[in-house]
Amino acid sequence: MLAALRRRVNYRRERWDTPDGDFIDIDWLKTRESARTTPLVVLFHGLEGGARSHYALALMAALQAVGWRGAVVHFRGCGGEPNRLPRAYHSGDSAEIDWVLRRFKRDHTTGPLFAVGVSLGGNALLKWLGERRAEAGNIVTAAAAISAPVDLMAAGDALDSGFNLFYARKFLVTMKRKTFAKLERFPDLCNRNRLSAARTLREFDNEVTAPLHGFRDTDDYWTRASSKPLLKDIAVPTLMINAKNDPFLPTSALPSLQDVAPCVTLEQPEHGGHVGFTTGGFPGRLDWLPQRMLAFFRKTLAAA
């Protein structure tokens, strides 16, 4: 299935300079020439993800099939080339979401703009929606957050224990490799010995992510960057999908109807894992999730 998606989905890359002198890479879905009024779906990926992640390919293939436009935003350092500044990206990076979506709205569309965030990108997107409240409606028509770890303390603790350490250590391999490379350019970035000794996401975030992005420590980062306290303030139609068997977020930490604004649609299927949601026999199809998002976006357009 993935091999077929890779063959079907082609991108063209565009580099955007950031307001602080860095850059990000945008991968645009290659389609037939489309009008600026054609719906545009912008995807923010998860931790160490990108345009070739399975969920990105599945969504772009679905957009291609219906003639919509699509773009995948790579967070700093995730486009295959180190970014210029010491900072990287983090789960609460709503300021980055803000200028990116504003630029899409200003320069690239006069039609509906939909935002999708997956995992880390989902939390950052939800945080932005809650912070901007009604103002967000001047930029995006609707949004979707998939497998977003809205309670970072609960998610971090879950990933740093038991079998879930397997997932955490997979992330740590690439995150530590990138950070060691950055230390060659920025020797004061962090303590090399403590970075080398980090075995959990909490330890890595305490040494690197938190201080690098203005947080006191991991607890401060995970508390202030969590989107859950802001879900009641969202004023844009938003679809939230979290599987109850997601190893990244305990069921007890999932938001309830009392935690979210009336315009937020909560869907919490029993199965789906972390951005899995496959259907059919092994190895499964990946079309359910993009079709569910497209149906939600179409419903929003019909109600406008």
Residues marked active site are found at 119, 246, 274
DSSP code for 285: B
Dihedral pair phi/psi, residue 103, rounded to 5°: -70, -40
Task: Identify residue 31 by its one-letter amino acid code.
Answer: T
Q: CA 93 to CA 75: how far, in whole Å?
A: 10
- Kindly state the helix (H) or strand (E) to which residue 170 belongs, with its residue range: helix 165-185
Give the closest residue to 41 by CA, choosing from 128, 122, 135, 104: 104
Cβ within 8 Å of residue 123, ≥6 positions away? 91, 92, 117, 145, 148, 149, 150, 152, 225, 226, 227
CB 40 within 8 A of CB 69: yes
- Return the half-sphere exposure (C-beta side, CA atoms, 13 A cut-off) of residue 241: 22
Cis-peptide into 237, omega within 30 deg = no
Give the SS3 label for residue 52: coil
Please state, in angstroms and rounded to a whole number, the distance separating the CA atoms of residues 127 and 109.
23
Question: What contacts 53, CB < 8 A, 6 or more positions away?
Answer: 45, 46, 118
Name residue 145's beta-bridge partners: 117, 240
Q: What pairing do the DSSP bridges indicate for beta strands 238-241 and 142-146? A: parallel
Asked whether the beta carbons of 14 and 8 are under 8 A apart, the reply is no
